[in-house]
Amino acid sequence: MKIKNFEGLKDRIQILEVLENYIDLYKIGANFKACCPFHDERNASFIVSPEKNIYKCFGCGVSGDALKFLQEYKKLNFIEAVEEVAQIYHYALEYETDAKIEQNNHLKEILAFANNLFKERLKNEPRALEYLTNKRAISLEMIEAYDLGFCLPLDLEVLKERFSVSELISSGLFSNKNEQQELKCFCNYRITIPLKDSKGQIRSFSARLYIPRFLRNDKAPKYINGRETSLFNKSFFLFNYHRALENIKEKNRLLYARAFLMY
């Protein structure tokens, strides 16, 4: 993705106007000072220079401009950092869209539509709902917060009627790589767990088997993740990252669980 009018924003950026939204700064001579947000310290060694439009910590050595600060402080990529600065300056960004971006946006719409189907299905499937609330002790509020759902063949038929075969395959929900060349969905008869990116947008699903008799079949794994697509690469994906980001920043630690429903 490219931003057509980035240079106009870049000319406006004053590092002090950006950083004061995130850390407490106090004036010392021509510069401003703070305790470094990137390492623990008692004596402030983080210096912001309005004249040079940069920051530097003389304790841990980090340095950069306003955009670099946001990338490190909030764990954003470059485009996300630009978008956050644009919000501070109430600056309207203009994007150069291309066919791939438009296609990926459409695939996200398909996944969001599917997620709504699965969420509604779960509300009408007492066995699946009982499994989550009783056996897994997950409250209805948590089920709603994490957009958990359930998938049945009826939902897949709705998707087939609304979207083309190529779109459904590209989204990662379906595959036709079986001998009969029939569309197959890995979510069928499973609890659906949407996998979201740092902005909270669905990139894929994980599907959890809950029917005990299926678990005795060695060929039926408890979890199946969506295959890799233009939206989803499992190797670079961290579940719940969009929720954990603030705590990671504040506490500088991260707790891992082996599976989605571990507690």
1 against 128, higher pLDDT = 128
Model pTM above 0.95 = no
- Which pLDDT tens digit goes with each residue over 70-104? 999 998 999 999 999 999 999 999 887 777 888 89
**Burial status of residue 32 (CB atoms within 10 A of its CB: 0-12, 13-18, 19 or more):** buried
In this structure, is the dihedral angle defined by the CA atoms of residues 149, 150, 152 and 156, taken in order, positive or negative?
Answer: positive
For residue 258, tell me if it sits in a domain.
Answer: no
The enclosing domain of 210 has a CATH number of 3.90.980.10
Average pLDDT of the residues in 124-133: 93
- CA dist 28 and 33 (Å) reads 7
177 and 103 in a common domain = yes
CATH of the domain at 30: 3.90.580.10
Q: Which of 40, 73, 95 is the last residue of a domain?
A: 95
Q: Would you say 45 and 58 are in contact if contact means Cβ atoms under 8 Å apart? A: yes
Exposure string for 84-104, b = 16+ CB within 10 A, e = fewer: bbbebeebebeeeeeeeeeeb
**Top-ranked range on mean pLDDT: pick from 119-123, 212-216, 241-245:** 119-123
Average pLDDT on 135-142 reads: 93
CA distance between the termini of the chain = 38
Residue 260 belongs to what H/E stretch?
A: none
Domain count along the chain: 2
Statement to judge: residues 216 and 153 lie in one domain: yes
Same domain (yes/no): 124, 204: yes
Q: How many CB atoms lie within 10 A of CB 259?
A: 12
* Domain boundaries, position 209: 99-251
Residues 120, 73 share a domain: no
Residues 177, 78 within the same domain: no
Residue 179 and residue 105 share a domain:
yes
- Asked if residue 33 belongs to a domain, the reply is yes
> Is 261 a domain residue?
no
Instruction: Give the pLDDT band of residue 168 (cuts 50, 70, 90).
Output: very high
| b (16+ CB within 10 A) / e for 207-231 | bbbbeeeeeeeeeeeeebbbeebeb
What does the DSSP assignment read for 131-182? Answer: IIIIIS---HHHHHHTT-EE--HHHHHHHHHHS-HHHHHHTTSEE--STT--
Indicate the residue among 39, 72, 95 that finishes a domain. 95
Decide if 49 contacts 125 (C-beta within 8 A): no
Same domain, 59 and 167: no
pLDDT at 259: 72
